[in-house]
A and B are shown apart, each in its own frame.
Chain A
Amino acid sequence: MHNVWLIARREYIERIRTRGFLITTIMIPAIMAGFIFGSTFLNSKAKPDTRIAIVSSDTQLALDLQAELQPLMRGSQARAVGHPRLIVDAMDIGPDTRSIVDQELASGDLDGYLWIAPARTPGARPTFTFTPRSSDQDAMRSVLAGALSRVLLREQLAHRGIVAADADTMLQPVEIVAAHLPRHEDHESAQVSVTVLFFLMYMVIMLYGMNVARSIIEEKTSRIFEVMLATIRPAEMMAGKIIGVGSVGLTQVAIWLAAGMLLARSSMVTRLAGHSLQITLTGPQVVYFFVYFILGYVFYSSIAAALGAMTNSEQELQQLNMFLVLPLAFCFIMLKDVLETPDGTLARILALIPPFTPLLMYLRVCLGHPSPLEVTASIVLTSASIYGIIWVTSRIYRIGVLMYGKRPNIMEILRWLRYS
């Protein structure tokens, strides 16, 4: 045990001291923050105001429609959420109106126009044609249709002698207040912060798993193993390495979490990101994060240790690292499904499969309602498979670290496993 501690400590100190540690500690959150802020910034700025023209010979109808759309034109609340503003122009039909609007549409000054052709027979409805600039103005058509039908209805009501004020009351839209379960009060912000943690776990497991493999290859090429193995067991070396490298990862994550929580408290971030991005973390979310992070790290770094022991160079490792990357990438692909239905059948099954447990069960624990049995089962299953992997890995490791030169084939590796 003393040897494991010595190895882990050396690994930890040497890594913490490097410039690489400092750089990743600063760069990864910077990249992530840039990513998040960048995307919200783009969201709010990318869509400019929408400009619509209503072309009608019936000026009254055009003005009524404009008035009906007024709330959307400068809705203060719409603006805060980052929705684009709607600007509506009313135009009379002249001889060359069509060519003017078409030109403006082509040049981008207009996002669409509604052409109201007067009815051929009196008493019939006029025909409405909406020409959008691009297909993403589809939503605008239904907005316009809704506004138009209210305008026409109000006109009809006025015709039948109903006072405008009464008509307004009748046309008052019904509002449904959205209510949530208390737990999900801040569901959206929980989703954001849990997704951030998911990314963090994904990146750190990948990064430090590869670090374990790389440092084993480095020790192989520098032939340090021969000296080390003259005093300690291969298993002790492997354990020390995994613990040491993992502790560096934990330190880094702890720094990030602490910094993240401090930042989240500061008003600057809230103002920058808008209220929807407030990062909220509960105690259990943090505790489960570390539980699943450690499980995931040990799982993948043990595999990485075997890969490192089997190979002689970084290039050879590249050919094998799909064993690490593929299962992790799969979790990444599944992220959206699990976020949307954390308690769905797919999520429940996947979260119990050991390679996916750390990342996916963590999402479920934070966002869904896994039963205590499921949580326990996920931890037990992953721990059991970690035990199995370490059993295999330490055998590969013991022989692999002294093998230089050619990469072993599958048959040779199987023979290593049988070896005592």
Chain B
Amino acid sequence: MPIVQLHHVRKVYDSKVAVDDLSFTIEPGTMFGLLGPNGSGKTSSIRMMIGITVPDSGSVSLFDQPFDRRMLARVGYLPEERGLYKKMNVLDQLVFLGQLHGLSGAEARRRSHQWCERLDIAEAIPKKTEDLSKGMQQKIQFIASLLHDPELIIMDEPFTGLDPVNAVLLMDTLVELRRQGKAVLFSTHRMDQVEKLCDNIALIHRGSLVLSGSMREIKASYPRNRVHIAFAGDDWFLRHPAVEEYKLYPGYADIKLRPSPTLDQDSQALLASAIGRARVDRFEVTEPTLEEIFIEKVREASPSRNGRELSMAELEQPTRSELNA
């Protein structure tokens, strides 16, 4: 039974197309990554998924049924724009939000205590929200979205502003929830963050789907043509004929190999050449990262820009020449 099904959804704001012909499915017990740069339509898609806005055309199904507001009690949502009542006491706030999701007052209270202990912020319970640090407020909001034990958990940029320790704590919590059979939707522009986590992904750019499917299959469909090498000494090996392009950093280099049917041998030859003149500390051959795949896909979709290297920053805002085109 799919938890979420978007079927050719389209949404236009005034003159801007926010989401165009978007379809994807989220299964229970999986982590789904909705990925794309800022302004690509991630939040707009989520808003339609939970009925904050209504699609202009296409349809949304939740829990295998056409969208119905009563389903929302089974959804937990952490919005990108965090929002809590500043003056409210933390416990009252959690209980209030829990009750809005259909919990009884007593049950909401019990679970609030449980969750705060689990996430290491029990000491925040009696405090006023505005007295908490930003990271703590974010954890409170995180708890608020999980309090009613939702079957679908929607996290819009959940880790922004969190220190690494807390980011890992939240991530582990989500992994645990997935293991319990919940569906988790991740929306983020930080593709590297979710690469290891997501089972399925949908990459969107300017409201349209660029790429979707199982993470493993997508990765497998790309050749292992990226080499990460940490070294000390001569960097002459970068001029090896198998190297198509490279980026040199202090102490290491990221290399893209020329397309060839014998990639495995090419990489070994490169390694041999490197060892000849430098000390190699680490040598790794991988598929392209999600971000690289994304950039490549977008470049394919807009052939006029073929000759230039696209960066993530460029993808965020349409430039004037593109608008004219």
Q: CB within 8 A of A233: which of B69, B73, B86, B101?
A: B69
Is the Cβ of B100 less than 8 Å from the Cβ of A228?
yes
Is the Cβ of A6 less than 8 Å from the Cβ of B81?
no
B294 touches A (CB below 8 Å): no
Is the Cβ of A223 less than 8 Å from the Cβ of B72?
no
Binary flags per residue of B67-78, CB closer than 8 Å to A gives 1, else 0: 001001101010
A222 touches B (CB below 8 Å): yes
Contacts of B14 in A (CB 8 A): 412, 415
Is the Cβ of A230 less than 8 Å from the Cβ of B50?
yes
Contacts of B99 in A (CB 8 A): 6
B91 touches A (CB below 8 Å): no
Is the Cβ of B85 less than 8 Å from the Cβ of A14?
yes
Instruction: Count residues on chain A whose CB falls below 8 Å from chain B CBs.
Output: 22
Query: What distance in Å separates the Cβ of A166 from its nearest Cβ neighbour in chain B?
Result: 84
Query: What distance in Å separates the Cβ of B196 from its nearest Cβ neighbour in chain A?
Result: 28
B83 touches A (CB below 8 Å): yes
Q: In the bound complex, how far is the Cα of B218 from the Cα of A197, in angstroms?
A: 73
Q: In the bound complex, how far is the Cα of B145 from the Cα of A3, in angstroms?
A: 17
B82 touches A (CB below 8 Å): yes
Chain A stretch 198-231: residues in CB contact (< 8 A) with chain B: 219, 222-231
B290 touches A (CB below 8 Å): no
Q: In the bound complex, how far is the Cα of B84 from the Cα of A223, in angstroms?
A: 7
Q: CB within 8 A of A229: which of B52, B87, B92, B97?
A: B52
Query: What distance in Å separates the Cβ of B230 from its nearest Cβ neighbour in chain A?
Result: 43
Q: In the bound complex, how far is the Cα of B112 from the Cα of A218, in angstroms?
A: 25
Contacts of A3 in B (CB 8 A): 100
Q: In the bound complex, how far is the Cα of B85 from the Cα of A412, in angstroms?
A: 29
Q: In the bound complex, how far is the Cα of B72 from the Cα of A267, in angstroms?
A: 60
Is the Cβ of B100 less than 8 Å from the Cβ of A231?
yes
B96 touches A (CB below 8 Å): yes
Q: In the bound complex, how far is the Cα of B52 from the Cα of A229, in angstroms?
A: 6
* Closest B residue by C-beta to A228: B100
B121 touches A (CB below 8 Å): no
Q: Which of A14, A227, A232 has the most CB of B within 10 A?
A: A227
Q: CB within 8 A of B84: which of A10, A222, A231, A412?
A: A222
Is the Cβ of A232 less than 8 Å from the Cβ of B100?
yes
Query: What distance in Å separates the Cβ of B123 from its nearest Cβ neighbour in chain A?
Result: 22
Is the Cβ of A223 less than 8 Å from the Cβ of B79?
yes
Contacts of B82 in A (CB 8 A): 223
Query: What distance in Å separates the Cβ of B215 from its nearest Cβ neighbour in chain A?
Result: 27
Is the Cβ of A227 less than 8 Å from the Cβ of B96?
no
Q: In the bound complex, how far is the Cα of B174 from the Cα of A51, in angstroms?
A: 92
B4 touches A (CB below 8 Å): no
Q: In the bound complex, how far is the Cα of B15 from the Cα of A415, in angstroms?
A: 13
B18 touches A (CB below 8 Å): no
Contacts of B53 in A (CB 8 A): 402
Query: What distance in Å separates the Cβ of B145 from its nearest Cβ neighbour in chain A?
Result: 8
Contacts of B80 in A (CB 8 A): 226
Contacts of A222 in B (CB 8 A): 83-86
Contacts of A231 in B (CB 8 A): 72-73, 100-101
Is the Cβ of A6 less than 8 Å from the Cβ of B100?
yes
B210 touches A (CB below 8 Å): no
A60 touches B (CB below 8 Å): no
A282 touches B (CB below 8 Å): no
Contacts of B100 in A (CB 8 A): 3, 6, 228, 231-232
Contacts of B278 in A (CB 8 A): none
Supposing A14-B88, A231-B72 touch, asked if A226 and B81 sit within 8 A by C-beta, the answer is yes
B144 touches A (CB below 8 Å): yes
Q: CB within 8 A of B87: which of A14, A225, A228, A230?
A: A14
A420 touches B (CB below 8 Å): yes
B3 touches A (CB below 8 Å): no
Is the Cβ of B83 less than 8 Å from the Cβ of A10?
no
Q: In the bound complex, how far is the Cα of B288 from the Cα of A120, in angstroms?
A: 128
Is the Cβ of B73 less than 8 Å from the Cβ of A227?
no
Contacts of B69 in A (CB 8 A): 233
Query: What distance in Å separates the Cβ of A219 from its nearest Cβ neighbour in chain B?
Result: 8
User: Which 4 A-B pairs rank lowest in CB-CB distance, beginning with the nearest?
Assistant: A223-B83, A224-B83, A223-B81, A226-B79
Task: Please give 18 more A-B residue pairs, beta carbons under 8 A apart, in addition to A14-B85, A227-B145, A230-B77.
Answer: A6-B99, A6-B100, A14-B87, A18-B87, A222-B84, A223-B79, A223-B82, A224-B83, A226-B81, A227-B79, A227-B97, A228-B100, A230-B50, A230-B75, A230-B79, A231-B101, A415-B14, A420-B54
A-B contact pairs, 13 of them (CB 8 A): A14-B85, A14-B87, A223-B79, A223-B82, A223-B83, A227-B83, A227-B144, A228-B100, A230-B52, A230-B72, A230-B79, A231-B100, A231-B101
